Amino acid sequence: MSEPIAASGNVHWAGTGLSSGSGLAELAGAARRVTLWGRSVAKAERRLADLGLSGRVAAADIAGLPVAVGPGDVVISMLPATEHAALLRLCLDRGAHFACTSYVSPELAAADGPARAGGLVVLTEAGLDPGIDHLFAHDLVARARKAVGDGPASVRFTSFCGGVPAEPNDFRYRFSWAPRGVLSALGSPARSIEKGEPRTVERPWEAVTEYDLDGEVFEVYPNRDSVPFVAQYDFPDGWRPETFVRGTLRLGGWREAWRDVFAVVRDGGPADLDALATELAARYPMRPGDRDRVVLAVELDVTTGSGSWSGRYLLDAVGDEHETAMARTVSLPLAYGVLEILAGSTPAGLHRALADPAAAGRGLTFLRGRGLDCALSTPDRTGEI
């Protein structure tokens, strides 16, 4: 492992969107200096006022960020994923560490070698999903390996996450971020493992199934490519995944409520999707006073020839008058990752959510201490080892 260059204590948080929440406050109390960079100083100041951080965090125009970053600083990109690469190049040029909550893109992956050589940390997938889901998965796998070992076993793994209205509406959803991104995700194929074999669905909504979570019935469907995460979650060679799905969770009735949306995603062109996104943003926004809800459930079942082990992590959070559940659950794990960088605990190079078992345990302790109920259940089962 490469030793990182010492963190300077300066943190640059780029982006003033709705996911900038409690995590920013955590860093304000720990870093030497924190600056919130917005599209204008006024926009950054308004966001700080909303968060009760005026006077504790500096506000600045993001146009000035390139000249402000120095060696050992930490740059956090809460900008759209398409803008991460430019900020990462800035960090590599200036000898600064980088953090974001997005999935690893080819541009981010390519920075692993240069970051290691330069003693820099590149932290990715450090939010909710991806992020907390990784912590849950690594902890469950470590517990199962301790219980049943690494020998031959049949495995079922599911990880479902969604942001939904705390009070359901007829559309079964409200938009807290750009609808165009939601529609684009629906139009992307998804790959998972079913009955022991990889399975690809071109239209994820055609693979919706019901998901009973302690008596409440949701609807879930696969997204992106789940298969590489079998290795990322350190499944032993002896474990055979019969089911391995990472996917999206929605309220019951969502598939029926979105039937007309699916038709446009399937048959429409870019202009049709843009028009639909504008319409949906106007009809179903997250309004002042609305409360959101975040549900993340990660389950692992391992069966051997002599017994079995099962475990589940459940995070079920509701927003309040001070902060949305989404902002809390995205920004707090990000802050934990940045605090580890500031402490010099993270080796140089590319990392996903600091998700080795030891780091996962520390991260879960941190989140619980900030009011996120990461509930672990390992129900007794006949023949359990």
Euclidean distance between CA atoms 55 and 314, whole angstroms:
36
Query: Which pLDDT band holds residue 277 (cuts at 50, 70, 90)?
Result: very high
CB 317 within 8 A of CB 294: yes
What percent of the chain is modeled with pLDDT above 70? Answer: 98
Q: How far is CA 270 from the centre of its chain?
A: 27
Query: What's the rounded mean pLDDT across residues 245-257?
Result: 97
pTM, to two decimals: 0.94
* DSSP-based helix, strand, coil % in the chain, nearest 5: 35, 30, 35
Q: Do 75 and 13 contact (CB within 8 A), yes or no?
A: no
Cis peptide before 130 (omega within 30 of 0): yes
- In the structure, what pLDDT confidence band is assigned to residue 381 with cuts at 50, 70 and 90? very low
Residue 385 has pLDDT above 50, yes or no: no
Mean pLDDT (the chain) is: 93
Task: Find the mean pLDDT for residues 125-140.
Answer: 96
Dump pLDDT digits (tens) for 142-195.
999 999 999 999 999 999 999 999 999 999 999 977 788 899 889 999 999 999
- pLDDT tens-digit map of 200-242: 999 999 999 999 999 999 999 999 999 999 999 999 999 999 9
Q: Is the dihedral of CA 339, 342, 348, 349 positive or negative?
A: positive
Q: Give residue-wise pLDDT tens across range 70-115.
A: 999 999 999 988 999 999 999 999 999 999 999 999 999 999 999 9
pLDDT reported for residue 158: 98
- Domain ranges, ordered by start, for the chain: 10-124, 132-322+357-377
CATH superfamily, domain 132-322+357-377, is Dihydrodipicolinate Reductase; domain 2 (3.30.360.10)
Between CA 356 and CA 369, with CA 378 as vertex, the angle to 5 degrees is: 55
Q: Class of the 10-124 domain?
A: alpha beta
Question: What residue type is assigned to position 162 of the chain?
Answer: G
